[in-house]
Structure 1
Amino acid sequence: MLCSPSLEGSGVFTWSLSFTFLWQVQPFLPTWLAEPSCVRKNVTEDLVPIEDIPEVHPDLQKQLRAHGILSYFPVQAAVIPALLESAANGFLVGRGGYQPSDLCVSAPTGSGKTLAFVIPVVQALLQRAVCHIRALVVLPTKELAQQVSKVFNIYTDATPLRVALVTGQKSLAKEQESLIQKTADGYRCLADIVVATPGRLVDHIDQTPGFSLQQLRFLVIDEADRMIDSMHQSWLPRVVAAAFQSECPADPCALLQRKQPLAVTTASTCYPQMPLQKLLFSATLTQNPEKLQQLGLYQPRLFSTGLAQKGPRDTDSDMDGDSGGKYTFPVGLTHHYVPCSLSSKPLAILHLILEMNFSRVLCFTNSRENSHRLFLLVQAFGGVSVAEFSSRYGPGQRKTVLKQFEQGKIQLLISTDATARGIDVRGVELVVNYDAPQYLRIYVHRVGRTARAGKTGQAFTLLLKVQERRFLQMLTEAGVPELERHEVSSELLQPLVPQYEKALSQLEKTIKEERKQKVA
């Protein structure tokens, strides 16, 4: 019903009523998002023996067995054959070739997504004759890039393929030496596969003579949702421009220049060119078509362990809008929450760690300052080997800390969300959210650091009274398995109070000393 005003000579508004039908606009998802290829999610019961996928090269199967991998996880069993099939049609589009569909993979943390792209990419490049950058893997953090680079090195070790890691941990000149060699008649490429962070990648596009992406066949975007959020850095347009630019812009044979994929026409099939296939991987892949449109996907195909959604659930109302049962969690993960007051939070985490006596506990806070204060407090309390992992430290120091944590030399690692993204630290038995995450996507990545690859693990979230309702409702609406309430009574905390008060006093002294040093 619409009300329309009329203005009469008296200067008074009168309203006349008219009726009209208002059609409700239904949310719409593209078919590829609404109808994904469903992947089983149980990484212990739905394993596929490696011999059941004979398309994988025998040498790679041998490497898999040598590293104790006898079966594929469900996401690997689904994605590897699909990627191998798309690569088997040749490297050229046109003259009998074709443009392969881009692939998106949404699967839980610890489900084996890295190997799902490493194996087919390595196999597709095995027969290359000349070294060019043909695969580019872009990740949001240096630690993730290092991790993926290690996996690639394992499966290219006995091949002519070369892997380069460019993250800024080495000087630009040192990285250039691993990428390009100057020769008498130009430049020679030294890497087939480049694993990079966005900023450093753009540095090489701009500043490294001879660095070319014009032979790029695979663009892998890992932790894709976070990479989409960082599109303001304009790294993807720079990569695409570098991949499709012409070496001779004034070349009259413009039709022979590499072009971005469009609809297939008679003209587009007349001239061969190298296809560029984008591969997106994430545990929390957005279903917002507007966000995904930024990636310029070509006839995309989605593999997902979650249920297809009826409409776009992503909005900007909660930053990432991730809800509605879209995400799946490791089967062996048990979720708990601990109701507590602000003053009892430090005591609660000390009680949990001392009571449960886990050898590797990963604790998350919402800020670098909170991480540092909690680290100093636990250190002053004593009885727990503790370390801090945040941007306060350089890449080399963070690498050392992660190694010590994995070796069991550090019992408690207190971190910002820097480690929540894809870092695979073996043997994490317990994840503690000291500060409750505001958004579901952050929760998914944090708790996904345990119960990986079919193992079991526990996640505890400390909740203030004012946080309980919203947090529990957010997880319930998202289909998270029911959280078990874990009460920590004041009687249990009382024996810790004297030592805690001493540690608190020491914390204040340390903070004052650090402030003085900053001023000096």
Structure 2
Amino acid sequence: MALFAITRYLGDDNTEEQSNKADAILKKLQANAEARRKRRGIGTWNTPQDNSKKKLSSEKDQVKNDLTPKSGEKIKIGKKSKLKECDETGYADSDNEVIPKKKRKGKFDKEEKTSCENNNSLQAIAQGSESSKLGSNADTTTKELKFRGKAKSVTSGDEEEQEIEDLELGDNGQKADETEVMGDTQEGAHEYGGFTVLGDYKSKQTERVSRVLPDWLSSPNVIASDLKQKTTLVSEFKGLDPDIHLNLKENKIDYFFPVQMQVIPEILDTVRYGFVLGRAGFRPPDICVSAPTGSGKTLAFVLPIIQALKSRVLCRIRAMVVLPVRDLAVQVFKVFLQYTKGTNLKVGMIVGQKQFSVEQHALVRQRVGGLESKVDIVVATPGRLVDHINKTPGFSLTDLRFLVIDEADRIMEHVKQDWLSHVENAVFSGGRTAPSSLNVYNSCKHHMPLQKLLFSATLSQNPEKLQQLNLFQPKLFTSVVDGGSLPRPLESEGEGNKDDQVTDRLSGPGGEVKGQFVGKYTTPLGLKEYTVEVEAFEKPLVILHFLHNLQYRHVLCFTNSVESTHRLYHLIRLFGGINVAEITAKLQASRRSKVLKKFQNGSIDILICSDAMARGMDIDDVQYVISYDPPPYIKTYIHRVGRTARAGKEGTALSLLQKKEFHHFKTMTKEAGKTYIEKFKVHSKEMEGLLEKYQAALQQLQQVFMRERFEQR
């Protein structure tokens, strides 16, 4: 095969030249092989034909000698048989000389092993036939047995066991192992027998990589989650101007919550020397706040922004608040209007609630020198904001100083729409350059910093997602601590014990406040949480039991779909005796605001809504939150139950769960550090009085749906 390959390779040369070259190459290969054999001490080179002839001659002579017994001697296979001789000493030559066995590798080992097996097989056959001819000893029987690929004759039990042991043991009395033939099994590449062995690397257990967060995430400034700790009066709070104190008094705010006590001074410190240059010309750090719902996060950024901008001379857009949904934007817009009274600051809102041309007219006006802004503070949603950046002439963000991102975890989902890059490109344009490294050259330039303020009850701890916001040396303020350190709530513990536990948990050695931001979420301490085990068909009846038998009022009920909301609304309305209303994403904004006002005034007993209401909406005096359908995610649950127990008040949250849904619910709430939630039991006997009227309402419900379908056609 090698000669054929060489001939093909040599090309168009004549046949004689090809043959000469092939012979020369073959001789050279044989010489190299012979040299390697001499170095290994194997001996002279024999062709495969010579080896086979030599083996066949040796086998014939061996069989002939074995078939010739001595006088008076019985044929018996002892411990030192030819089989063992071949194993221990080597292979037999034609002249009955035993050639010492040497360890070889590869092809040579296979040839020697085959030779020994052939010899052993012939010996066993010859000896078996001879003993059958003689038949001198009837008690001695011969059997042919293959043991590890070799034939053995067995005479008695003791000799059989000894024979097996002799075969299994090597020259040194140890068991022969294939690893001896293969040489050293040391780990890694090494030399053996003139060859480089790549080695067999032992498998090692992979060490688990511990999670390492950035310093600002792993060591945040911890905020007390107990809103009842009203330690600072508004009148004693330093840093705010008298007109802001007056507005706070008019809105009946006498105390600052913990999140406001820490975040407001931090923002005011960055504008100590004016909002244009920042703190002594240095770029201020961005601020992230993660605190429970209803803890006063909105006021924590509204007051310092008004304090910083109230002394401005020209009207420019210097602060912008971006929110994920329209309802939240309207709510924040109203808060700004309340606290800008008595100042020259103007607030605008662009959320798509009005026509685009009307919003343009409210943002920009025509002057002799050109277009100029009519507002100082803008409250917007991401999509509408990008539209005005691209299509509204004179809508300039080159003077923007504060960029507030409320409900930041939800906003990060809209980063894929590239709204943030549009805002940053609009800010750093018209001669305003993006900040760069601090050096002598850049320190001589005038740079107005752009400070980002992030607020959310469920702020993500994923550095990769936060990196999309391009934060600069951020500082984190959070009431979120390690869930593993939270004690299991007991029914016997009072509110005083809970306060002591929180104080111990937040205080480190020497009274220093420390914390860990590990993705856990907290809820207000005034919130009581329960689970109710029910079947799917019993859920409407349980809601009616809460309303009629237990007299629940000011109830906010959440479902997972618009259809479930609409069906439950009609069922409670047809049952009678309860003022009920519904809010879904399909409802117009004007009608939605009217329904919310009625609910806050107490005209509506239960408000049924989808998760569109679950995030950020501030509704006064919600006493009960019922999850008619289980929340799919932990963030949804946190925002649902956060509609009650706001501003230090108390509230109750109940989740209606089927038996199969408890496992997912418990696994989900563990992410918030809630290892135990008490069960609220509802007995079927308590609902028997409602069954007759409930069945009548179900029959009427079918007629209502048929009428609605007919009207839609």
Same fold (TM over 0.5): yes
1:456-495 alignment runs, 5 A limit:
456-480=650-674, 482-495=676-689
Structure 2: unaligned runs, 5 residues or longer:
1-186, 189-198, 485-516
2:457 to 256, 262, 283: 283
1:420 to 614, 629, 633: 614
Do 2:521 and 2:671's aligned partners in 1 also have CA atoms closer than 8 Å? Answer: no
Structure 1 residue 506 displacement after superposition: 1.8
1:301 to 475, 480, 491: 475
Superposed CA offset, 1:97-135 (max 9, x none): 121100000000000000000000000001111000100
- Cα distance in 2, alignment partners of residues 267 and 19 from structure 1: 56
**CA radius of gyration, larger in:** 2
Superposed CA offset, 1:120-175 (max 9, x none): 00000011110001000011111111111111111111100001111111111111
2:341 matched residue in structure 1:
157
Q: Does 1:73 align with 2:247?
A: no
Q: 1:265 to 1:23 in 2, by over 3 A?
A: farther
- Cα distance in 1, alignment partners of residues 443 and 708 from structure 2: 66
Q: Does 1:141 align with 2:325?
A: yes
Do 1:93 and 1:271's aligned partners in 2 also have CA atoms closer than 8 Å? Answer: no
Q: 1:189 to 1:299 in 2, by over 3 A?
A: same
1:340-351 alignment runs, 5 A limit:
340-351=534-545
- In structure 2, the residue corresponding to 1:414 is in which secondary structure? strand
Do 1:420 and 1:446's aligned partners in 2 also have CA atoms closer than 8 Å? Answer: yes
- Relative to structure 2, which stretch is displaced further, 17-26 or 432-441? 17-26
2:501 matched residue in structure 1:
none
Superposed CA offset, 1:263-291 (max 9, x none): 42333322112111000000110100011
- Cα distance in 2, alignment partners of residues 384 and 324 from structure 1: 44
- Relative to structure 2, which stretch is displaced further, 482-491 or 273-282? 482-491
- Cα distance in 2, alignment partners of residues 368 and 241 from structure 1: 39
Structure 1 residue 95 displacement after superposition: 11
2:531 matched residue in structure 1:
337
- In structure 1, the residue corresponding to 2:271 is in which secondary structure? helix
Q: 1:424 is matched by which residue type in structure 2?
A: D
2:248 matched residue in structure 1:
64
Q: Does 1:40 align with 2:228?
A: no
- Cα distance in 1, alignment partners of residues 602 and 302 from structure 2: 28
Q: Does 1:352 align with 2:546?
A: yes
Q: Does 1:206 align with 2:390?
A: yes
- Cα distance in 2, alignment partners of residues 261 and 185 from structure 1: 29
- Cα distance in 2, alignment partners of residues 453 and 47 from structure 1: 14
1:497 matched residue in structure 2:
691
- Cα distance in 2, alignment partners of residues 52 and 422 from structure 1: 29
- Cα distance in 2, alignment partners of residues 55 and 454 from structure 1: 24
Do 2:271 and 2:278's aligned partners in 1 also have CA atoms closer than 8 Å? Answer: no
- Relative to structure 2, which stretch is displaced further, 111-120 or 61-70? 61-70
Superposed CA offset, 1:328-358 (max 9, x none): 1111110011100000011111111223323
Superposed CA offset, 1:365-411 (max 9, x none): 11111111111211121111111111121111111111111111111
- In structure 2, the residue corresponding to 1:165 is in which secondary structure? strand
Q: 1:428 to 1:95 in 2, by over 3 A?
A: closer
1:166 matched residue in structure 2:
350
Superposed CA offset, 1:11-58 (max 9, x none): xxxx95533463432212110010001111111124321233211112
Q: 1:283 is matched by which residue type in structure 2?
A: A
1:37-436 alignment runs, 5 A limit:
37-93=221-277, 96-245=280-429, 247=430, 257-307=431-481, 326-436=520-630
Structure 1 residue 244 displacement after superposition: 1.2
Do 2:305 and 2:319's aligned partners in 1 also have CA atoms closer than 8 Å? Answer: yes
1:251 matched residue in structure 2:
none
- Cα distance in 1, alignment partners of residues 483 and 346 from structure 2: 41
- Cα distance in 1, alignment partners of residues 445 and 519 from structure 2: 45
- Cα distance in 2, alignment partners of residues 108 and 162 from structure 1: 30
Larger helix proportion of the pair: 2
- In structure 1, the residue corresponding to 2:405 is in which secondary structure? strand
- Cα distance in 2, alignment partners of residues 211 and 104 from structure 1: 28
- Cα distance in 2, alignment partners of residues 120 and 100 from structure 1: 14
Q: 1:181 is matched by which residue type in structure 2?
A: R
Q: Does 1:450 align with 2:644?
A: yes
Do 1:33 and 1:308's aligned partners in 2 also have CA atoms closer than 8 Å? Answer: no
Do 1:385 and 1:412's aligned partners in 2 also have CA atoms closer than 8 Å? Answer: yes
- Cα distance in 2, alignment partners of residues 264 and 17 from structure 1: 51
- In structure 2, the residue corresponding to 1:344 is in which secondary structure? helix
Do 1:366 and 1:435's aligned partners in 2 also have CA atoms closer than 8 Å? Answer: yes
Q: 1:338 is matched by which residue type in structure 2?
A: V
- Cα distance in 1, alignment partners of residues 336 and 586 from structure 2: 29
Q: 1:43 to 1:271 in 2, by over 3 A?
A: same
- Cα distance in 2, alignment partners of residues 68 and 481 from structure 1: 38
Hey, which bits of structure 1, 4+ residues long, moved more than 4 A?
93-96
Do 2:562 and 2:584's aligned partners in 1 also have CA atoms closer than 8 Å? Answer: yes
Structure 1 residue 206 displacement after superposition: 1.6
1:317 matched residue in structure 2:
none
Q: Does 1:515 align with 2:699?
A: no
Do 1:37 and 1:304's aligned partners in 2 also have CA atoms closer than 8 Å? Answer: yes
- Cα distance in 2, alignment partners of residues 28 and 351 from structure 1: 50
Structure 1 residue 480 displacement after superposition: 2.7
- Cα distance in 1, alignment partners of residues 334 and 341 from structure 2: 10
% identical aligned pairs? 46
2:493 matched residue in structure 1:
none
Do 2:555 and 2:607's aligned partners in 1 also have CA atoms closer than 8 Å? Answer: yes
- Cα distance in 2, alignment partners of residues 385 and 104 from structure 1: 41
Q: 1:339 to 1:97 in 2, by over 3 A?
A: same
Aligned alpha-carbon RMSD (Å): 2.1
- In structure 2, the residue corresponding to 1:143 is in which secondary structure? helix
Given the two structures, how large is their TM-score scaled by the length of structure 1? Answer: 0.89
Structure 1 residue 434 displacement after superposition: 0.3
Superposed CA offset, 1:418-477 (max 9, x none): 111111110100000000102111111000100100111100000011001221232245
- Cα distance in 2, alignment partners of residues 262 and 346 from structure 1: 60
Do 1:180 and 1:188's aligned partners in 2 also have CA atoms closer than 8 Å? Answer: yes
**Greater RCO, 1 or 2 (C-alpha within 8 Å, sep 6+):** 1
Structure 1 residue 514 displacement after superposition: 2.2
1:11 matched residue in structure 2:
none
Q: 1:196 to 1:47 in 2, by over 3 A?
A: farther
- In structure 1, the residue corresponding to 2:403 is in which secondary structure? strand
Q: 2:705 is matched by which residue type in structure 1?
A: I
Larger strand proportion of the pair: 1
Count of paired positions? 485
- Relative to structure 2, which stretch is displaced further, 270-279 or 225-234? 225-234
Q: 1:198 to 1:17 in 2, by over 3 A?
A: same
- Cα distance in 1, alignment partners of residues 387 and 276 from structure 2: 29
Structure 1 residue 258 displacement after superposition: 2.0
